[in-house]
Amino acid sequence: MTVVLIAFIISIMTGDYSISDTHSEALKFLFSDVRYLKGIGPSKAKVLREYNLNSILDLFFYVPRKYLDHSKIAPISQLVEGETVTIIGEVTSYGFTYGRKRRYIVNIKDQTGHLELVWFSGYKYLDGLFEEGDVLSVTGKVGFYDGYQITHPEFEIISGSDDQPIHTQRIIPVYPETAILRKIKLHSRGLRRVIKQALDQLKNIHCETLPKELRQKFGLLGLGEAIAQVHFPDSPEAVERGHNRLAFEELFYLELLLAARHQKRVAQEPGISFPPPKRLGRKLLDNLNFELTGAQKKVLNEIYADMEKPHPMNRLLQGDVGCGKTVVALLTMLGAVEAGYQAALMAPTEVLAEQHGFSLAKMLDGFDINVVVFTGSVTGKKRQALLDKIASGEINIVIGTHTLIQAKVEFAKLGLIVVDEQHKFGVAQRGILKKKGLYPDTLVMTATPIPRTLAMTAYGDLDVSIINQMPPGRIPIKTSFVPIEKQDKMNEFIAEQVGAGRQVYIVYPLVEESEKIDLKAAKESYEAFKADIFPDMNLALLHGRMKGIEKNKVMVNFKAGKIDIIIATIVIEVGLDVPNANVMVIEHAERFGLSQLHQLRGRIGRGTHQSYCFLLSDSKPTKEAEARIATLCGTNDGFKIAEADMAIRGPGEIMGTRQHGLPELKVANLMDAEMLSLARQSAFEIISTDELLMKSDNRLLREVLINKYGKKIKYSKIA
C-alpha cells in the first residue's frame, strides 16, 4: 500500500516541476486538510469528507444556500413588532427562569431602552457564556410579550473582540444544512466561524488559483476577494461577482483536465488508421433510394477524418430521432469492413437490434458482407456456430445487445464499435466491448441532443458530431392532449387512418414497480380493442416479457403491413422505423419523462403522410407532468425538448454525469453554456500549446490541477 502511494506521489512529481514558487506555499494552505482548522479536528473532518469537503478550498467552494440581510441596525426604542433587525446592546442580566416552561433569558439595553432575549433550548451552550456588561450584537424577528423580545436570536458577543461580526450586522450566509452537519455542530453558525477563520488566514497569504491573464481577460475577482464576497458579502451584486469567479474556476479546471486527457488520447494511444471506404461507400450510396442530407455528409466527413488518424476515434453522434443516424453508422462501419476489420453495433434492446439487422440487410442487399444479429434469443447450436464465425472473422458486422459484451464473444479483428442510444449503456459496458478489439474506433449515438460544449464536457473526452437537419419531405407531427371525453372521437379517427392504409402504435408505460399491473392494462386494452373498438383490424400485442422470436415476428409483420395496430409497452421506445405508421397514442402520458415521450413520438413522422401523436391521461397530471405534456405539444425540436428537460430535472440527472466520472460541480452550472464555452476554449488553447503544462507561465495551472484532481489524472500524462 505504502509503496503504491509513494510510487504515485513520485509519478505526479516527475518532470521539471518543483514547488518553489511563492504561490506554492499558499496552495499548500488551500489544499491542506480541513482538520487542521481550529474547531474541526479529525472526527468532524471525517464527516466533512463524506460531503466531499476535504480541503480548505473545498470548504470555500461550499457556497451558501441563501443569505439573510442582517445589516439593518436599529435602536431599541424604534423596534417594530414583526420586523427583523439587528440591535447592539449591553447585557444587564442573564439566567434561567422557571415558569410553565424552562427558559434562558438575557436582558440587554442600549441608550434608548431594554430588550429581552429568550431561548427555549440550547441551555448547555448558553449557560456561562454571558457576563454582565458584555456588548452583544443581536439579530432576529421582534416579538412582543410583556415588552419587546426576540426569541432564539442570532447573536455574537462583540466586546473584547476586534473581529468583524459574522452572524449579525451584515448580510450573513446560510449554508445547506443536513442533520449530520448539525449533529457535529457544523450548522450555519459553526460553518461561518470556520470559514471566516480560514478566510482570515487566506488573506494573509495572498493566494491565487487562476493566472492573472485569465482573470483580466474575463474580468474575474481575485480568489480571496471572491471567497470573501461569496461567504461574507458586501452586497448582493458582490455575491454574484464572487460566484462568477468561483464558477469559472471550477469549469476551467474541469476543462483543463478534459483537455489533458483528450490530448493524451489523440497524441498517444495507438489505433487503427482506416481510409474512407471508397468502394463500399460509393456502392452503398448508389444503392440507397435517397440522397444523404448535408448534415449527414458533414458528420461523415468528421467521422472519416477521425478514422483516418492512427489513434482511436471516440466520437459522439447526436441527432434528433428520425434524422438518419443508422445510415451514418453503416457508412462508418463500412470503413472498418473495407479495411478488413470487423464492426460491432450494440443496441439497448433486442427489438432494436433486430430492427437494425433488418435495415442493414436491406441497405446491404447485393453486398458481399456478412451481417448477423446476435442477441440473447440466439441459443443452442446456432449460438455456438455464430460465436465461431465471429471468432474466425467470417462475420463482418455483428449487431447485438448486451450479449456482445459477454466473455464468450471473441472477435477476430474488431476495428470499430458503434453504440446506439448510448445513454442506455454505462461507460463500463462500452469499455468491455472496446477491450475485445485492439484500440478500436468508437462511435456512440444518442437521440437526446444537448448543446455541443455541454455534451463534450458531460461525456468526458468525446468529440461531438451533430446532425441538425431532418431528411427532406418530413411533415411535422401534430401532437395533442386528448381528454377522456374525446377518446371515442380519437378512436374513430384512428379507424379512418387505418382505413386509408396507415398503421398505428398504442403505447402503455411499463414502470418497474407496477410492471404487472401495467402489463395487465396493456393486455386488457388489447382484448377490448380487438373485441369492441377495432374488431375488423389486425391487432398485435408487443411487450417486454415476450420471447425474442415472438417480438420479432410482430415487428416483421408490422413492417410488412400485416398488422394495423400494435399495442405495446415501452419496448418500442427506441429505434423502430416503419415509415407507414403515422399515429402514436401514448396512454398515461403523465408517467413518462420528456425525453421518453419525445423518443416514442419519434417512431412516427417518418413517412410521407401527416402524422399524429395523441397524449392520454386518465388521472389528473401533476404540474410537472402538465409542463412536460405542454412542452411536447408545443415543439418537435429535440434540442428544445432536451433543454426543457434539463431545466426541469437538472443536467446531471439527464446525462448521468456521475456515471461518466465527472467531478461533482459545487458552484458552477453546466447549463451556463456561455461560461462553459469560454472555460473550455481557454483550457484547450493552453493545452494545445503546452500539453504537459511545463512552461513556467503555466506552472500555477499545473500545480492547481494536480492538487485538485491528482488522483483522477494519474492516467493522463500530466500526472
Asked if 480 and 634 count as a contact pair (C-beta separation under 8 A), the reply is: no
Q: What number of chain residues touch ligand ADP (CB under 6 A)?
A: 18
Contact flag: residue 348 with Mg ion (CB under 5 A):
no
66-69/171-174 β-pairing: antiparallel
Q: How many residues bind Mg ion (CB under 5 A)?
A: 1
Check: CB of residue 245 under 8 Å from CB of residue 302. Answer: no
All residues at 6 or more sequence positions from 449 whose CB lies less than 8 Å from its CB, including other chains: 318, 319, 320, 466, 638, 639, 642
Out of 575, 605, 621, 651, the only residue in the binding site for Mg ion (CB under 5 A) is 575
Q: What is the 3-state secondary structure (H, E, C) of 24-46?
A: HHHHHHHCCEHHHCCCCHHHHHH
* Per-residue contact flags (x/-) with ligand ADP for residues 465 to 484, judged by CB under 6 A: ------x-------------
Report how far residue 216's alpha carbon sits from residue 359's, in angstroms, rounded to the nearest whole number: 55
Name the nearest CA neighbour of 111 among 86, 149, 78, 142: 78
The nearer residue to ligand ADP, 336 or 447, going by C-beta atoms, is 447
Burial call 590-628: b when 16+ CB within 10 Å, e when fewer: bbbbbbbbbbbbbbbbbbebebbbbbbbeeebeeebeeb
290 lies in the site for ligand ADP, by CB under 6 A? yes
3-state secondary structure of 68: strand
Q: Does 440 bind Mg ion (CB under 5 A)?
A: no
- Binding span for ligand ADP by CB under 6 A among 128-136, 230-238, 287-295, 556-564: 287-295
Which residues have CB under 8 Å from 80's CB, separation 6+?
142
Site string for ligand ADP, 417-456 (x = CB under 6 A): ------------------------------x---------
In the list 156, 577, 590, 643, the residue contacting ligand ADP (rule: CB under 6 A) is 577
Least Å from the CB of residue 574 to ligand ADP: 8
The residues in 307-336 that bind ligand ADP, with binding defined as CB under 6 A, are: 319, 321-327
Q: Does 579 bind ligand ADP (CB under 6 A)?
A: yes
Distance CA 529, CA 104 (A): 72
User: C-beta of 408: minimal distance to Mg ion in Å?
Assistant: 27
Q: Cβ closer to ligand ADP: 326 or 582?
A: 326
Contact call for residue 357 and ligand ADP (CB under 6 A): no
Sign of CA dihedral 309, 314, 319, 325: positive
Distance in Å, CB of 660 to ligand ADP, minimum = 22
CB 218, min distance to Mg ion, A: 40
- Name which of 42 and 473 has its Cβ closer to ligand ADP: 473
How far is 358 from 373, CA to CA, in rounded Å?
Answer: 9
The owner of cell 440466439 is 378
Choice between 473 and 661, CB closer to ligand ADP: 473
Looking at the DSSP bridge assignments, the partners of residue 89 are: 136
Show the cell assigned to 711.
Answer: 488522483
Q: Which is nearer to ligand ADP, 174 or 292 (CB)?
A: 292
Binding mask 522-561 for Mg ion (x = CB under 5 A): ----------------------------------------
Residue 655 neighbours by CB distance under 10 Å: 23
Residue 224 binds which of ligand ADP, Mg ion, none (CB < 5-8 A, kind-dependent): none
Binding mask 597-616 for ligand ADP (x = CB under 6 A): ---------x----------
Residues between 236 and 255 with contacts to ligand ADP, criterion CB under 6 A: none
List all residues 6 or more positions away from 413 whose beta carbon is below 8 Å from its beta carbon: 340, 341, 342, 393, 437
From the CB of 577, what's the least distance to ligand ADP, in Å? 4
Q: In this chain, which residue has its C-beta nearest to ligand ADP? A: 324
323 or 583, CB closer to ligand ADP? 323
Strands 397-400 and 342-346: parallel
Q: How far is the CB of 542 from ligand ADP (least distance, A)?
A: 18
- How far, in Å, CA of 80 to CA of 83, rounded? 6
322 binds, among Mg ion, ligand ADP, none (CB under 5 to 8 A by kind): ligand ADP
CB of 643 to ligand ADP, least distance (A): 19
Residue 697 to residue 218: CA distance in whole angstroms: 18
In whole angstroms, the minimum distance from the beta carbon of 473 to ligand ADP comes to 7
**Least distance from Mg ion to the Cβ atom of residue 235, Å:** 52
Phi-psi domain of 257 (left: phi exceeds 0; alpha: psi -120 through 50; beta: other): alpha
Measured at the CA of 7, the angle between CA 4 and CA 8, to 5 degrees, comes to 85
Binding-site ranges for ligand ADP (CB under 6 A): 290-293, 296, 319, 321-327, 447, 471, 577, 579, 606
What is the contact surface with Mg ion in residues (CB under 5 A)?
575
